[in-house]
């Protein structure tokens, strides 16, 4: 019985660390889905005409960003805390052929202070490399910036495709 009592805190630590890793995986999946939504909606609802470009930048982009914020979890305090969310940016760069839709999420530190007790150089010694340093920075020092970039073609209105020679 004493072993169970002594190992219970260790078990809780493992569960907590696993939950934080799972939260990071959930955030990456949510980013991919939200970036697809943002890119597809921008492709279908934005205009090539310069007269409507102002509406695209103000109304459309803000509405897409509001919906993406809601999906990722910025509006729900419990989800925002679990995923360590800090800020979201949606940027759209128009080019001649493509619209480049960039979704950036900035996270807070994961807040697992027990893993930050030892210095980074001691934890990420010889067999580990840059990935260990990056992970230690995420857990201990500060949040990270995750970015998803989607390229969508310009499309003002659909054009019917007709095979040559068929009428």
pLDDT band, residue 158 (cuts 50/70/90): low
Question: SS3 sequence, the chain?
Answer: CHHHHHHHHHHHHHHHHHHHHHHHHHHHHHHHHHHHHHHHHHHHHCCCCCCCHHHHHHHHHHHHHHHHHHHHCCCCHHHHHHCCEEEEEEEEEECCCEEEEEEEEEECCCCCHHHHCCCHHHHCCCCCCHHHHHHHHHHHHCCCEEEEEEEEECCCCCCCCCCCCCC
Q: What is the pTM of this model?
A: 0.77
pLDDT at residue 48 is higher than 80:
no
pLDDT at residue 1 is higher than 80:
no
Mean of pLDDT over the chain: 84
Least confident of 16-30, 38-52, 97-111, 152-166: 152-166
pLDDT band, residue 14 (cuts 50/70/90): confident
């Amino acid at each position: 019985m004493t072993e169970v009592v002594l190992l219970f805190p260790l078990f809780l630590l493992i569960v907590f660390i696993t939950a934080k890793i799972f939260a990071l995986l959930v955030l990456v999946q949510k980013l991919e889905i939200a970036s697809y939504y943002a890119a597809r909606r921008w492709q279908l609802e934005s205009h090539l005409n310069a007269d409507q470009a102002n509406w695209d930048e103000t109304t459309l982009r803000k509405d897409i960003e509001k919906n993406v914020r809601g999906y990722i979890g910025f509006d729900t305090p419990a989800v925002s805390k679990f995923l360590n969310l800090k800020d979201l940016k949606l940027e759209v760069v128009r080019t001649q052929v493509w619209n480049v839709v960039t979704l950036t999420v900035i996270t807070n530190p994961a807040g697992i202070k027990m893993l930050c007790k030892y210095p980074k150089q001691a934890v990420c010694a010889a067999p580990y490399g840059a990935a260990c340093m990056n992970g230690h920075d995420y857990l201990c020092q500060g949040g990270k910036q995750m970015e998803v970039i989607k390229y969508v073609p310009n499309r003002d209105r659909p054009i019917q495709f007709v095979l040559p020679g068929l009428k």
